[in-house]
Structure 1
Amino acid sequence: MGRNRKQADGDSNEDRYLSLINGYWWYKRRVPKLVAHLDQRAPQVRMTLKTKEKTLARRKRDQLETADDALWASFIVNGSNDPARLRYDSAVRRVEAMDFTFHSAATLEHVDNYDELRRRLLAVEESPHRKEIGLPLLGGIRVPKVKVSDAFKTYCDEIVADELVGKSSLQKAQWKKVKQRAVNNFIRIVSDKAIDEITPDDARKVYLHWLARIVPKKGEKATASANSGNRDLGNMRVLYDAYFKYQGQHNRTNPFDGFSFTQKNKRSRPPIPTEWIRDTVMKPGNLATLNEEARGILLIMIETGARPSEICNLEPANIRWSAKVPHLSIEPREDPEAPREIKTASSRRLVPLIGVALAAAERHHKLGFPRYRDREDDLSAVLNKFLRSNGLFPSKGHTVYSFRHSFEDRMKEAGIEDELRRILMGHTVDRPKYGTGGGLEWRRKQLMPIALKFDPSIV
């Protein structure tokens, strides 16, 4: 005998199914009696994990445990269980536990993958469980057909899951909404077919659907923009490419390649003239019936150019009204219970409070704007409706975002240098970053000449 064995205690703790033999960890698990007659490894699964590190052994154990659960479930077909899918999932987990990536036989047979195929053959040859690992490792398990809707779920849950870290619930919903629309439209126009069966003709159907809306027949009005069509086609192109790269197929031709629309006249929100802001919007009484928090956000926006979503999501600690130079600290919310990211890395910034923004911050710095926290869409709807219905926009083309454009124009007209304007607006500075972009005292000094006179009663 003479073998140094140590069985991990019990199957309910974190070391379940682990055994230490001669310094190396093994995965040992009894095959359930219900399926023992269908599993050639019965009565016990036994596999070396080829590691002395317990943490790594636990990770591999988890993969093998999941693989066996899926395999045994595939032996019992009932309800909505898909045995082909379960066997495939089992194969993927088993291969991952061996530090390989599952590839189909067709992929491994490609001439560029000769070295990888050879490495796998050696692993099979060296294993005492050739029958059990040979098929999964060499791509002998049939890859089940995956519908577009299921591929999208994999895309969200696994492929780009890291992109959702730090987003609020609303931001996650908004992120998914446009991508889900592309998938829903594809299913409606074509079908919820297997993603590997999508053809260029299918992509062309989506293109023609949007073309009919963007360039309608003579006498009819356009019902969509080139941007909307490009978003759908682009999101399907990204989904297709990302899904197959995730499956190890990096050179697969994308059927959506080449389908897009030219957008010649990209609409931009017009700025609101300074005189209109000062004499109409900020005229005493004109904002009196707007709720207090929405009014405070609007007034801060006028003199900081910050995005409405940035202002309404400020924590009280980020409205630094009592600092030597009162300012807003616009940054991600890193609360694990209620995270929220900002638009881009360059959006993180310190913006001095001047004029009416300083007065509004004084009123709201203790609580912030709880009514609209994580409800920026509601805020935009309220502000746009109020300003439009009360005649406080110069034209139908203006929106609440126009105040942000106005702030940038006012800085430009005052001769404030381009780099500082970019920093204060949260735009990217196209050069290597050196220093802090000027201290708060200096930033405030640059902004003071553009501060608008106001009646304190409007706050």
Structure 2
Amino acid sequence: MQTKSVPYTFNREGYYYFSRRVPNDLVEHYSYPRVVQSLHTKQYSIARTRAVMLAAKLDEHWSHMRLAHAELPGKHLLKQKNVSFVQSSAAPQVVQSMSLTEAVEIYLSLKGAGKPKTFHAAAHRTCGYLVDACGLKQLHEYTRSDALAFRDSLIARGLAGTSITRIFNSVVAVFNFANSEHALGLKNPFTRIYYDRSAGVSERQPIAVQDIRVIQAKCKDFDDEARWLVALVSDTGLRLAEAAGAMVSDLKLDHPVPHIVIEPNSYRGLKTISSKRIVPLVGASLWAAQRIVKTCSDPKGPAFLRYNKTGQTNANSASSAMNKWLKPFVGRGCSLHSFRHSMRDRLRAVNCPTEMVDQLGGWSHDNVGQGYGRGYGLEQLQQYMNAIVIS
């Protein structure tokens, strides 16, 4: 339903969406006769501002299209619908460009193929930050001043240096991909922006062995689904999302070497290519896997139902709940992810080869040679994993 109080919008389940009909004389340049996109807000004031801004940008863009296409020789031969030719305000020449929205769609349609929903959401979110700070523009209209204003807006949000780096990397990737794919020949103003990359970053500490012993004992005392997740992570060093999104069928307990298979599934993807692996189950992790298999109602379903109710793994929910539970048992600067740091130290302590450590943890290879061959076998991996079990 179109909302009268906020022009060019409709409201669906509380969220505002922008909707604008494409003019008849330009509709041939679009694959759909109406421009529709989420404004990503439920707030009236924010929706109104963004809708008016988008409408103004569309009016400007359509005006450029009418002028440029009217003067452009051979416009009837133009096949690249996503690329618009606009008159540069800096010089009397025609330059190729496209809007940030179009650049994001091109980036996701090609680079996002087969990637998890979080990849798409991150691209939309980070470019949304840019629109909030500098407005929705054609790529060639973004300047160094915009990039600096964008940086300042992210700092004002209180984001840590690592978060700002991820956001800038995403914006740079979208800009560069569209620029290269359509040979726009534009200079990217978002590269080499200075900011304190260490700001707000706290060093994550490993969990001490004596604390892990206490935590694992507590997990067995509680003996519930949430504690099975903690126990599974504690002696495998899995990333939380890898464990929370595992399927019951990934737990291979009838194999001579009990292990868990880490691979993408319909509930969650994996962080990197190297994340796909097998990890022997020992100690508390083996106990947790046995409890999961014994009590599961669906052998083909997710191992942790409470974190996969929507059809997608909710690792954030698991992280929040488990970190709150862990807090009394761990030192300052430790969290659930600290089990991965501890795992690396525990494997070092038993002289586990670095290449095997990387294989067990799903860490990226340091050199090309590590990517050759099939890696260590399950029996070899189990030998070192047994050596780190805390008695």
TM normalised by structure 2 equals: 0.69
Deviation at 1:134, TM superposition (A): 4.2
Letter in 2 for 1:160: L
Is the 8 Å Cα contact of residues 300 and 356 (structure 1) preserved in structure 2?
Answer: yes
Cα distance change of structure 1 residues 230 and 309 upon mapping to structure 2, 3 Å threshold: closer
Name the residue aligned to 1:158.
106
1:317 to 241, 249, 252: 249
Structure 2, gaps ≥5 residues long: 1-19, 32-72, 87-97
Which position in structure 2 is the counterpart of 1:356? Answer: 284
Are the equivalent residues in 1 in contact too, given 2:148–2:193 (CA < 8 A)? yes
Is the 2:245–2:267 Cα contact (8 Å) retained in structure 1?
no
Select the residue among 226, 242, 254 that pairs with 2:188: 254
Q: Is the contact between residue 319 and residue 361 of structure 1 (CA under 8 Å) also seen in structure 2?
A: yes
- Residue 113 of structure 1 corresponds to which residue in structure 2? none
C-alpha contact 1:327 1:352 (8 A) present in aligned 2: yes
Residue in structure 2 matching 1:413, options 330, 349, 358: 349
1:300 aligns to what SS in structure 2? helix
| Residues 438 and 202 (structure 1), Cα distance of their counterparts in 2 relative to 1, 3 Å cut | closer
What is the 5 A alignment of 1:345-384?
A: 345-365=273-293, 366=296, 367=299, 368-373=303-308, 374-384=313-323
Instruction: Supply the distance in 1 between the matched residues of 2:276 and 2:246 (Cα, whole angstroms).
Output: 12
Larger radius of gyration: 1
Contact kept in structure 2, 1:331 and 1:348, CA below 8 Å: yes
Q: Pick one of 203, 206, 209 that aligns with 2:150.
A: 206
Point out 4+ residue stretches in structure 1 off by more than 6 angstroms: 138-142
Residues 1:189 and 2:120 are matched in the alignment: no
Q: Does 1:82 align with 2:15?
A: no
Contact preservation (8 Å) 1:384, 1:400: yes
Q: Secondary structure at the match of 1:283?
A: helix
1:164 Cα deviation after fit:
3.5
- Tell me the SS of whatever aligns to 1:270: coil
Aligned to 2:329: 392
Identity %: 25
* Aligned residue in 2 for 1:67: none
CA distance in 1, matches of 2:287, 2:154: 48
Contact 2:238 2:361 in 1 (8 A): yes
For the residues of structure 1 that align with 2:363 and 2:284, how far apart are their CA atoms? 23
- Could you report, residue by residue, the CA deviation over 1:197-237 in whole angstroms, capped at 9, with x for unpaired residues? 222222232234446x49xxxxxxxx332223333333333
How far residue 143 of structure 1 moved from its aligned partner, in angstroms, is: 2.9
Deviation at 1:419, TM superposition (A): 0.8
Cα deviation code 1:67-115 (max 9, x no counterpart): xxxxxxxxxxxx712345423348xxxxxxxxxxxxxxxxxxxxxxxxx
Distance in 1, Cα, partners of 2:230 & 2:287 = 12
Give secondary structure in 1 for the equivalent of 2:28: helix
Deviation at 1:332, TM superposition (A): 1.6
Counterpart residue identity of residue 137, structure 2: K
Matched-pair contact (CA < 8 Å) for 1:159–1:246? no
AA paired with 1:164?
G
**Residues in 1 aligned to 2:255 and 2:79: alpha-carbon distance in whole angstroms:** 64
Q: Deviations over 1:162-188 (max 9, x none)?
A: 443444xxx41x324443333233223
Q: 1:241 to 1:136 in 2, by over 3 A?
A: farther
1:356 to partner: Cα distance: 1.5
Q: Is 1:137 equivalent to 2:77 in the alignment?
A: yes
* Counterpart Cα distance in 2 of 1:441 and 1:343: 26
Count of residue pairs brought into register by the alignment:
306
Structure 1 residues 138 and 309, CA gap change in structure 2 (3 angstroms):
closer
- Counterpart of 1:238 in structure 2 is 173
- Residue 140 and residue 326 in structure 1: after superposition, are their counterparts in 2 closer, same or farther (change >3 A)? closer
Read off the aligned partner of 1:384 and give its amino acid letter.
Answer: N
1:409 is aligned with what amino acid? D
Which stretches in structure 1 are left out of the alignment for 5+ residues?
1-78, 91-132, 215-222, 454-459
The aligned residue for residue 384 of structure 2 is 446
1:270 lines up with 2:205 in the alignment: yes
Other structure's SS at 1:311 match? helix
C-alpha deviations, 1:123-163, integer Å up to 9, x for none? xxxxxxxxxx9433269999367xxxx94443444333244
Q: Alpha carbons of 1:152 and 1:379: their partners in 2 closer, same or farther (altered >3 Å)?
A: farther
Counterpart contact for 2:103–2:175, Cα < 8 Å: no
Aligned partner (choices 327, 335, 360) of residue 424 of structure 1: 360
1:350 alignment partner, SS class: strand
Select between 354-363 and 180-189 the one with higher mean Cα deviation. 180-189
Contact persistence 1:271–1:403 (CA under 8 A)? yes
Residue 402 of structure 1 aligns with an amino acid whose one-letter code is: S
8 A contact 2:274–2:364 mirrored in 1? yes
Q: Is the 8 A contact 1:166 1:341 kept in 2?
A: no
- Residue by residue over 1:359-382, the C-alpha shift from the partner in whole angstroms, topping out at 9 and shown as x without a partner, is 111111254222223121211111
Query: Could you tell me how far apart the structure 2 residues matched to 1:195 and 1:398 are?
Result: 42
SS of residue paired to 2:147 = helix
Whole-angstrom distance in 2 between the partners of 1:232 and 1:443: 37
Q: Distance in 2 between matches of 1:179 and 1:140?
A: 23
Q: CA deviation at 1:244?
A: 3.1
Compute the TM-score of the two structures, normalised by the length of structure 1: 0.60
CA contact (8 A) 1:299 1:360 kept: yes
Q: How many angstroms apart in 2 are the aligned matches of 1:352 and 1:200? A: 51
In structure 1, what is the equivalent of residue 230 of structure 2? 298
Q: Which range is displaced more, 194-203 or 343-352?
A: 194-203
Distance 1:406 1:235, change over 3 A: same
Deviation of 1:450 (Å)? 1.2
